[in-house]
Amino acid sequence: MAHATMTTSRLERGPEQSVQAAVVLALRRQIEALPTGAYLGSEAEILARLGVSSPTLRQAARLLEQQQMLSVARGKGGGYFGRRPDGGATTRAAALYLDSVGTSMAQVRAASLPLMIEASRLAAQSTDADRRASFATALSDLKSLPPDADARVVLTLDRILVGELLNLAGNPAITLLLQVIYRLGRSAERRQRAFEAHADWSAHWLQHAARFGDAILERDPDLAVLLARRGSETTAGWLGKIEGALPETRGNENRFWRAIDGQASALQTTADALRKEILANPQGAFLGREETLADRYRVSRHTLRQAAVVMQHNGLLAIKRGVAGGYVGTRPDIGHVVRSASTYLELNGATLRDLMAAAGGLFAEACRLAAGNRDQDARTALHRLGEEMASSADHLDADEPARALLKAEFHLVDAILGMAGSQPIALFVKCMYRYGSSISQPVHDHPDRVVQWRDARLALVAAILESDGEVSMIVSDRIRKLLASWLD
């Protein structure tokens, strides 16, 4: 009992909080207060400091490791080290998940356009002198290229310009989501093939990028948005001509593990073959024993095991041990991706306004797509959710009406995303909602706003059920502006 009292005191444990949750919170606060890579202490030191058991500490540590906030070094000189979630790892996990569920290139481009439009608007409106100077330098480098410049050079400088654009926009949520899109679409490789085959396209793109960059520097958000839209449409048209029936292709036909020079190693080839077989079968399908797969792929067991490690890391493979064991295909967990993105956004200081800017256009597009869905079961379910929300005023908890309404809204948003049928948009909006739910909402503690929020959502449901995609997008944008006015 004395030990429990000491634990509660040291961890500031809440009445309904588990000891493990209290340890996670205590370690997380220490990590956030220190620079990345800081030494938190040995296991023995942390056990003495927190007053908990080894199993409890290790369970908490595993959770923080999954969230990419902690690394544990074993052996002499080891211990616990704080870290920050890697945007690259989060991007890779999200792209692998979207690829595993069969995301098409058409869905990739549909999700990228609202994000690029908002990034262009924010960049044009930015007053950050240092970031504007960096963007201007990148634009100048791109402008200095001759019309017949090598395609690789054009795309290298173009990627640098886009990076400076996102830096100037200053929205970590948009940056993260667009990085997922670029990773999934492998657009640079496709555009390089297009530019190498059509030198006039490369020259045209240089002219477009120059005009677009000038609009940003001239602080003209309307022109920047127009040119961003045109650029996206132009690129889609070019790639459609190069690759034929592009909307029917998967998001990432190219290997995530392809060597830079295009020469795939035995490991890369085996990993790719294993990945294709996994995705060609239902989740949980038994692929075979190790010796069977090694013979099938004509590789050594050592190479197969290395490829299996890659697949396990990417959430695509489970290995069963024992007599009846073998390789089993799995799928990346959307929950893990959402949690990883949420943690990354939190530690990079994303605000509620950042989330609104990132999710606003995406959700408006989801509403438009949902309005075009004719599935009667889905429409009936949405109608039922609307009715429940309409009558919610009679049942809301008097102490926390806004939170009760927002909980109901999550079900409504999930239904709309399901009707939209876009895997990237659904994943991105869920990432925003996951993190947004941890931030104080401007609806809380304002009964009049609760009513306005509910009525606005009901208007959105009505527009979708009337199959009016344009009105659905307008109503969705009005909801975003309503929330923005409360933030102001």
CA angle 419, 423, 425 (to 5 degrees): 85
Do 151 and 225 sit in the same domain of this protein? yes
* Residues 424, 365: Cα–Cα separation, whole Å: 12
pLDDT of residue 26: 87
| Per-residue pLDDT tens digits for 353-397 | 899 899 999 999 999 999 999 999 999 999 999 888 887 655 544
What is the CATH number for 211?
1.20.120
* Residues 254, 95: Cα–Cα separation, whole Å: 12
* Residues 291, 376: Cα–Cα separation, whole Å: 49
pLDDT of residue 328: 92
Q: How confident is residue 451, by pLDDT bands cut at 50, 70 and 90?
A: confident
Comparing 222 with 36, the larger pLDDT belongs to 222
Do 208 and 283 sit in the same domain of this protein? no
Percent of the chain clearing pLDDT 70 (strictly above):
86
Number of domain units in the chain: 4
Decide which of 56, 82, 108 is a domain's last residue: 82
Do 101 and 218 sit in the same domain of this protein? yes
pLDDT of residue 404: 64
Say if residue 439's pLDDT is above 80: no
CB 59 within 8 A of CB 20: yes
pLDDT of residue 189: 65
pLDDT of residue 449: 81
Do 72 and 96 sit in the same domain of this protein? no
Q: How far is CA 225 from the centre of its chain?
A: 22
Do 62 and 104 sit in the same domain of this protein? no
pLDDT of residue 362: 94
What is the CATH number for 476?
1.20.120.530
Which of 33, 31, 32, 10 is CA-nearest to residue 80? 31
Q: Within a domain: residue 32?
A: yes
Domain that holds residue 13: 2-82
pLDDT of residue 383: 94
Say if residue 12's pLDDT is above 60: yes
The amino acid present at 459, given as its one-letter code, is A
Average pLDDT value over all residues in the chain:
83
DSSP 282-347: -TT-EEE-HHHHHHHHT--HHHHHHHHHHHHHTT-EEEE-STT-EEEE----HHHHHHHHHHHHHH
| Per-residue pLDDT tens digits for 275-316 | 889 888 888 999 999 999 999 999 998 889 888 877 876 778
Do 411 and 473 sit in the same domain of this protein? yes
Neighbours of 167 (CB within 10 A): 17
pLDDT of residue 3: 32
Do 104 and 14 sit in the same domain of this protein? no
Q: Within a domain: residue 340?
A: no
Decide which of 248, 274, 301 is a domain's last residue: 248
Give the C-alpha distances (Å, rounded to integers) separating 358 from 149, 392, 426.
34, 29, 13
pTM of this prediction?
A: 0.73
Q: What is the mean pLDDT of residues 433-450?
A: 76
Do 115 and 226 sit in the same domain of this protein? yes
Comparing 8 with 239, the larger pLDDT belongs to 239
Do 205 and 315 sit in the same domain of this protein? no
pLDDT of residue 5: 31
What is the CATH number for 290?
1.10.10.10
Give 260's DSSP letter.
T
Q: What are phi and psi of 40, to 5 degrees?
A: -90, -20
> Residue 485 has which token pair?
């006015």
Neighbours of 217 (CB within 10 A): 16
Tokens 């970590």 correspond to 172
pLDDT of residue 165: 97
pLDDT of residue 453: 84
pLDDT of residue 243: 58
Do 76 and 103 sit in the same domain of this protein? no
Q: Within a domain: residue 345?
A: no
Decide which of 82, 100, 128 is a domain's last residue: 82
| Per-residue pLDDT tens digits for 204-253 | 999 999 999 999 999 999 999 999 999 988 988 887 776 553 444 444 44
Q: Within a domain: residue 373?
A: yes
Q: How confident is residue 96, by pLDDT bands cut at 50, 70 and 90?
A: confident
Do 100 and 231 sit in the same domain of this protein? yes
Neighbours of 33 (CB within 10 A): 9
Do 322 and 372 sit in the same domain of this protein? no
Q: Within a domain: residue 293?
A: yes
Q: Within a domain: residue 61?
A: yes
Q: Within a domain: residue 343?
A: no
CB 27 within 8 A of CB 70: yes
Which of 138, 187, 146 is CA-nearest to residue 163? 138
Q: Which helix (H) or strand (E) holds 146?
A: none
Q: How confident is residue 336, by pLDDT bands cut at 50, 70 and 90?
A: confident
Q: What is the mean pLDDT of residues 161-185?
A: 90
Q: Within a domain: residue 344?
A: no
